[in-house]
Amino acid sequence: MRLGSFINHSNDPNLALVPSVGESGILKFRATKPIKEGDQLFISYCHPNIEDEERDRLLATQYMISVVAEDGKGTTISNAA
């Protein structure tokens, strides 16, 4: 299993995927905010500039995630659709 499969979605991620030109099969991430030991890692599965309704539709149809709550920090708390 690859590292990327262990990183959950958030509307306020602490990592961003860095394009890796010419490095087939390699995922690179960069921190978008400070990450302390023990913090959970999050990326956004969607482009950050899309509207909330479109983001929720993509999460539901592409990733089988349905939003059930927001925790006040922008992190999506979700379950399988």
Q: Which tens digits make up the pLDDT trace of 5-56?
A: 678 888 889 999 887 777 677 788 999 999 999 999 999 888 888 998 898 8
Give domain limits for the chain: 3-80
Read out DSSP for 17-80?
Answer: EEP-TT-TT--EEEESS---TTPPPEE-SS-TTS-HHHHHHHHHHHH-EEEEEE-SSSPEEEEE
pTM of the predicted structure, to 2 decimals: 0.68
Residues 6+ apart with CB under 8 A from 35: 14, 15, 41
Instruction: Specify the CATH number of the domain 3-80.
Output: 2.170.270.10
The pLDDT value recorded for residue 46 is: 87
**Nearest to residue 14, comparing CAs of 49, 48, 40, 46?**
40
